[in-house]
Amino acid sequence: MPTVSMTVNGKPVTGEVDSRTLLVQFLRETLRMTGTHVGCDTSQCGCCVVHIDGDAVKSCTTLALSCEGAKVTTIEGLANGDQLHPMQEAFRENHGLQCGFCTPGMIMTAVELVGRKGHNLDEKTIREELEGNLCRCTGYHNIVKAIAAGAQAMGAKA
Amino acid sequence: MYAFNYHKPATVAEAATLAGKHADGKLLAGGMTLLPTMKQRLASPSDIIDLSKLGDLRGIEVKDGVVTIKALTRHVTVANSAEVKKAIPALAELAGMIGDPAVRNRGTIGGSVANNDPAADYPAACLALGATIHTNKRSIPADDFFVGLFETALGEGEIITSISFPVPDKANYQKFRNPASRYAIVGVFVAKKGADVSVAVTGAGDSGVFRQKDFEAALKSNFSAAALDGKSQSAAGLNSDIHADAEYRAHLIGVMAKRAVAAAK
Ligand SMILES: Cc1cc2nc3c(=O)[nH]c(=O)nc-3n(C[C@H](O)[C@H](O)[C@H](O)COP(=O)(O)OP(=O)(O)OC[C@H]3O[C@@H](n4cnc5c(N)ncnc54)[C@H](O)[C@@H]3O)c2cc1C
Ligand code: FES
Ligand code: FES
């Protein structure tokens, strides 16, 4: 079986994979990092979003082997020990989740969005940018609020 | 997904050799179409030839009134490119309307054009702007490239290397998107260059993207939305599906074309 090496949340990892192994399977099944979720497996829902070299991508639609040498960040890589990342904290504070299934993808998408569009995000921008992230519970309202607040908090911290 | 052998060539020549050797193989670019198709077992390539290491297939150049975009350039790069925004703003806007941010972070122009999905956006831009599709073997005018549903003039294992778009005087793209899939139910790209006007329609035709020659003729003599008053698109040859029937799509083509003409810049 081929092997693949990449950096996940700052740690170098290597694993044997089938050529078909998706990045999300490598993360969840080989590395046992189950924070990244599979909601649809058809590239629609965004539950599986992680960062590859800083870009938010759907890990259910990426081959593990394509990530050779890449720097991958998952939801597990955001917090600093017990201290939540400001975007995670904002989701908690604003009640931006109910069941929490979509939350890892929402947060990874939101963090990349702040990197691209800055700390002052209006509602329209946030809603447009969440086009690829589906939530079955919240109705989005508090997610949008959480992202706006999280973006501000990330700016205050920097 | 069925099993396959994985290759990651370092040069276009090596990719072409691999593609030639494995007749049932497939090139992999962003994977945003190919991987979902393989997961549904609608495609079962024997070999995957991953183009992601081919750095010389990325990049955008604007020279002598032509915008050339290399095949592996991602949608996000085109959408944000200051050069594209300046030369052909409609093209940058189109790239920014594809799918969602994560899809735009992976999906490539070459993959989109090679795939020729009847609801994809780039094929409309290629036709309306009179683009040329360059491959490792030859250069193909857009008018000869898009052959039918998911069908192009590409030969077995032929690799798109870049696409060049002559800069128009004015252009605009209007998309009526399916809110669930984000693909076009109808998309109309209008471009004016000198006395020439092109109108390309995606999302609607039962054999893929096409040019609306009646609209083009009317707009050549008078480039204004009013010139399309009384012109109508026939529903014959248009798709009917659960999202929209052919009559509705025909109507939308007229509406989107007028909006595109009015917004062209
Ligand atoms: C949720 C979602 C929403 C989407 N919404 C839209 C939308 O609104 N509008 C739209 O236009 N598209 C949309 N897409 C499709 C997206 O734009 C894809 O990126 C694109 O169609 C294919 O590009 P790719 O680089 O991902 O190609 P891949 O999936 O890697 O390849 C697609 C096909 O092209 C071939 N190919 C790839 N590169 C080359 C090359 N250089 N030379 C020859 N052949 C090549 C492959 O062999 C394969 O057959 C969406 C996709 C998803 C998952
Ligand atoms: S699980 Fe990847 S997009 Fe839904
Ligand atoms: S909180 Fe349940 S899916 Fe979003």
Nearest by CB to A62, from B3, B31, B76: name it: B31
State the span(s) of chain A assigned CATH 3.10.20.30. Answer: 3-77
Element (H, E) at B166: strand B160-166
At residue B15, the pLDDT reads 97
Asked whether the beta carbons of residue A57 and residue B1 sit closer than 8 angstroms, the reply is no
Minimum Cα–Cα distance from A20: chain B residue: B3
For residue A58, the ligand closest to its alpha carbon is 2
| Tens digits of pLDDT across chain A (158 residues) | 899 999 999 999 999 999 999 999 999 999 999 999 999 999 999 999 999 999 999 999 999 999 999 999 999 999 999 999 999 999 999 999 999 999 999 999 999 999 999 999 999 999 999 999 999 999 999 999 999 999 999 998 65
- ipTM of the complex model: 0.96
Question: What number does the ligand 2 atom closest to the CA of A43 have?
Answer: 3
Q: Using 50, 70 and 90 to split pLDDT, how confident is the model at B108?
A: very high
Burial label for B235, CB within 10 Å (0-12, 13-18, 19+), is middle
Nearest by CB to A65, from B6, B32, B181: name it: B6
Predicted confidence (pLDDT) at residue B213 exceeds the cutoff of 70: yes
The mean pLDDT of B117-123, rounded to a whole number, is: 97
Query: B55 at the A interface (CB within 8 A)?
Result: no
**pLDDT per residue over B152-205, tens digit each?**
999 998 999 999 999 999 999 999 999 888 899 999 999 999 999 999 999 999
Q: Using 50, 70 and 90 to split pLDDT, how confident is the model at B106?
A: very high
For domain A86-157, the question of CATH label 1.20.1250.20 is answered with no
Query: A106 at the B interface (CB within 8 A)?
Result: no
- Chain B, 104 to 143: residues with Cβ < 8 Å from chain A are 105-106
Give the burial string for A86-96 (b: 16+ CB within 10 Å, else e): bbbbbbebbeb
Full-model pTM = 0.96
Domain ranges of chain B: 5-50, 57-263
Q: Which residues is B48 bridged to in the sheet?
A: B6, B26
Minimum Cα–Cα distance from B32: chain A residue: A61
Class of CATH domain B57-263: alpha beta
At residue B147, the pLDDT reads 96
**Ligand 3 centroid from CA A70, angstroms:** 29
Element (H, E) at B113: helix B109-115
A vs B, Cβ pairs < 8 A, gives 75
At residue A1, the pLDDT reads 85
Under CATH, domain A3-77 is a member of which superfamily? Beta-grasp domain (3.10.20.30)
Nearest by CB to A20, from B3, B99, B102: name it: B3
- Percentage of chain B exceeding pLDDT 70: 100
Asked whether the beta carbons of residue B31 and residue A66 sit closer than 8 angstroms, the reply is yes
**Virtual torsion, Cα B234, B153, B44, B103, nearest 10 deg:** -70
At residue A157, the pLDDT reads 63
State the span(s) of chain A assigned CATH 1.10.150.120. Answer: 86-157
Asked whether the beta carbons of residue A63 and residue B50 sit closer than 8 angstroms, the reply is yes
Indicate the average pLDDT of chain B: 97
Question: What number does the ligand 3 atom closest to the CA of A106 have?
Answer: 4
Among the four given CATH numbers 3.20.20.70, 3.30.43.10, 3.40.50.720, 3.40.50.1260, the one describing domain B5-50: 3.30.43.10
**pLDDT per residue over A117-146, tens digit each?**
999 999 999 999 999 999 999 999 999 999
